[in-house]
Amino acid sequence: MKILHTSDWHLGRQLYNVSLLEDQRHVLMQIVEIARTRGVDVVLVAGDIYDRSVPAADAVALLDDIIHAFAELGIALVMIAGNHDGPERLAFAGRLLARLGVHITGPLLPTPEPVVLQDAHGPVAFHALPYADPPTVRAVLGVDVQGHEQAMQALVANLRERQPPRCRSVVVAHCFLDGYAASESERPLAVGGVQTVSAACFEGFDYVALGHLHGPQARGAAHLRYSGSILKYSFSEEKQRKSITLVDLDGDGRCTVEQVDLTPLRDVRTVEGLLADILAAGKQDSQREDYIQARLLDERAILDPMGKLRAVYPNALHIEMVALNRTGDGHGPSRDALARGEMPLFRDFWRAVTDEELDDDDARIVAGMLERIHAGGES
> Cβ closer to other proteins: 17 or 263?
17
> Cβ closer to other proteins: 96 or 339?
339
Q: Tell me if 315 contacts other proteins by CB under 8 A.
A: no
Question: In what order do the strands lie in the sheet containing 316-321?
Answer: 268-273, 291-296, 316-321
The CA distances from residue 333 to 162, 327, 328, 339, in Å, are 66, 14, 10, 11
Minimum distance from residue 287 beta carbon to other proteins (Å): 22
Site for other proteins in 248-287 (CB under 8 A): none
Minimum distance from residue 147 beta carbon to other proteins (Å): 7
Which residues, including other chains, have CB under 8 Å from residue 277's CB and lie 6 or more apart? none
Minimum distance from residue 345 beta carbon to other proteins (Å): 6
> Cβ closer to other proteins: 48 or 206?
48
Which residue among 153, 350, 375, 377 contacts other proteins (CB under 8 A)?
A: 350
Site string for other proteins, 84-113 (x = CB under 8 A): x-----------------------------
Nearest alpha-carbon partner for 14 in 233, 214, 189: 233
Which residues, including other chains, have CB under 8 Å from residue 312's CB and lie 6 or more apart? 278, 279, 282, 283, 285, 288
Which residue among 354, 360, 375, 377 contacts other proteins (CB under 8 A)?
A: 354
CB 131 within 8 A of CB 152: no
The CA distances from residue 150 to 133, 145, 147, 372, in Å, are 11, 5, 6, 62
Question: Which residue blocks in the chain are alpha helix, DSSP H?
Answer: 21-37, 57-73, 87-90, 94-98, 134-141, 147-161, 275-283, 305-312, 335-340, 342-354, 360-375
Compute the chain's Rg from CA coordinates.
Answer: 29
> Cβ closer to other proteins: 89 or 288?
89
Site string for other proteins, 51-80 (x = CB under 8 A): xxxx--------------------------
Contact footprint for other proteins (CB under 8 A): 13-17, 51-54, 83-84, 133-135, 146-147, 187-188, 190-193, 301-307, 318-321, 325, 328-329, 331-335, 337-342, 345-346, 348-350, 352-354, 361-362, 365-366, 369-370, 372-374, 378-379
